[in-house]
Homo-oligomer: A and B are copies of this chain.
């Protein structure tokens, strides 16, 4: 039976991808802060960018090029300065970075994507960026370790590197791998440190199909996490497919396409959940499952309203079983429902019901000790059944802690 399996590594797990990283001194000292990712051949590319009107220069650069030529062969990223709110000069910095990579590798500058994350409003130090590129070119490697080092180099306030990979065998017997790395926290509601995500695959697959698969995967993964409700100027997700697995090119929605979608879905959900858990200052991951909503869109809004509620987030940090806040967050989501029909539980990660909190329009008189004990885990999973229909959705977030305030009150010092 065809199946998709987790394999080691991230962006270098698929064939024909090399990575490097370096300490270019853009902002941090004593740690790597630049990464370079290169495909041996031009790769078909799909991308999703921030919905923020204030788009950072690299977003404008990448979007223009990917829209017009549909290919990416290299990505260069710095994790010190966002290059946002930098006007025409910011775009010039992107061009200089891309041209440096282009010249060194002998590829078109339009095939070089640029990623930035960090402080807004400061100009990029072009000389350090160019130095960094020159350091990384000779160090490019297709090893798993090189991919992992790149995943570390793009971190800002992240506390863990984020990379996963999955593989499967196509109908013509070729092994295809889909791997990726990311940093930050989310596409709709990322914190200011920005979500950057780069996914590589060696599958030969039509560009329109990867575009459709990517949007589907994002809608149920990155778009379902929230850390603080702020949407960054720099959010970028690029998917590259270089075809080096040697499979017959996928051009329609066949069983190979389904396997690719499954692998991409698992990968993006893994990355999204890890980003939610690693939200700034977070001690716990929060998962909200909404069942029995009338439409998928409503299920998503309800689930995100709960994980986005500061009061719910603070409650879970404090292990204070003031679960009315969860009902309250459902209630102000903007979705109409009948409060008397809602059931709310704590569940375990497998979805099994552990403690019924609310039913029939009121709380159940559950034992508060039980609720506090439940919230002591690193993962707090809640489920509600709206009893309106068949639609369901899951959203992920994290608790609101003293450290969130500390990190963001004093980000640049």
Please give the residue numbers on chain A whose beta carbons come within 8 Å of chain B beta carbons, in ascending order: 51-55, 82, 84-90, 119-121, 191-192, 228-233, 308-311, 314-315, 317-318, 320, 322-325, 327-333, 335-337, 339-340, 358, 360-363, 400-402, 404-406, 408-413
Tell me the smallest distance from the CB of A360 to a CB of chain B, in Å.
Answer: 7
Measured CA separation A191–B329 after assembly (Å): 11
Contact check, B322 vs A119: say whether CB atoms are below 8 A apart.
Answer: yes
Tell me the smallest distance from the CB of A181 to a CB of chain B, in Å.
Answer: 24
Tell me the smallest distance from the CB of A24 to a CB of chain B, in Å.
Answer: 22
Contact check, A52 vs B314: say whether CB atoms are below 8 A apart.
Answer: no
Contact check, A330 vs B54: say whether CB atoms are below 8 A apart.
Answer: yes
Q: Which of B308, B328, B362, B404 contacts A405 (CB 8 A)?
A: B404
Contact check, A53 vs B332: say whether CB atoms are below 8 A apart.
Answer: yes
Measured CA separation A82–B311 after assembly (Å): 16
Q: Which residues of B contact A358 (CB under 8 A)?
A: 85, 121
Q: Which of B90, B228, B232, B324 contacts A119 (CB 8 A)?
A: B324
Known: A192-B325, A409-B320. A310 touches B230 (CB 8 A): yes
Contact check, B82 vs A324: say whether CB atoms are below 8 A apart.
Answer: yes
Contact check, A322 vs B120: say whether CB atoms are below 8 A apart.
Answer: yes
Known: A325-B230, A361-B88, A411-B320. A339 touches B53 (CB 8 A): yes
- Determine the residue in chain B with the shortest Cβ distance to A318: B409
Contact check, B412 vs A320: say whether CB atoms are below 8 A apart.
Answer: yes
Contact check, B311 vs A408: say whether CB atoms are below 8 A apart.
Answer: yes
Tell me the smallest distance from the CB of A327 to a CB of chain B, in Å.
Answer: 5
- Pairs A–B under 8 Å by Cβ, sample size 30: A51-B332, A52-B332, A53-B335, A53-B337, A54-B331, A85-B339, A85-B358, A87-B340, A88-B361, A121-B323, A121-B324, A121-B362, A121-B363, A191-B311, A192-B325, A192-B328, A229-B308, A229-B309, A230-B311, A231-B328, A310-B404, A311-B408, A314-B405, A315-B408, A315-B411, A317-B409, A318-B408, A318-B410, A400-B405, A401-B405
Known: A85-B358, A232-B328, A401-B405. A322 touches B412 (CB 8 A): yes
Q: Which residues of B contact A85 (CB under 8 A)?
A: 324, 327, 339, 358, 361-363
Q: Which of B54, B87, B233 contacts A360 (CB 8 A)?
A: B87
Measured CA separation A328–B233 after assembly (Å): 6
Measured CA separation A252–B36 after assembly (Å): 71
Known: A52-B328, A337-B53. A311 touches B412 (CB 8 A): no
Q: Which residues of B contact A336 (CB under 8 A)?
A: 53
Q: Which of B86, B337, B362 contacts A89 (CB 8 A)?
A: B362
Q: Which residues of B contact A82 (CB under 8 A)?
A: 324
Q: Which residues of B contact A335 (CB under 8 A)?
A: 53
Q: Which of B55, B87, B329 contacts A230 (CB 8 A)?
A: B329
Q: Which residues of B contact A90 (CB under 8 A)?
A: 362
Contact check, B87 vs A362: say whether CB atoms are below 8 A apart.
Answer: yes
Q: Which residues of B contact A360 (CB under 8 A)?
A: 87
Q: Which of B192, B318, B322 contacts A311 (CB 8 A)?
A: B192
Q: Which residues of B contact A400 (CB under 8 A)?
A: 405, 408-409
- Determine the residue in chain B with the shortest Cβ distance to A88: B361
Instruction: List 8 extra interface pairs beyond A229-B308, A229-B309, A315-B411, CB under 8 A.
Output: A84-B328, A87-B362, A230-B332, A233-B327, A310-B408, A314-B409, A315-B409, A322-B411
Tell me the smallest distance from the CB of A344 to a CB of chain B, in Å.
Answer: 10
Tell me the smallest distance from the CB of A186 to a CB of chain B, in Å.
Answer: 12
Contact check, A311 vs B228: say whether CB atoms are below 8 A apart.
Answer: yes
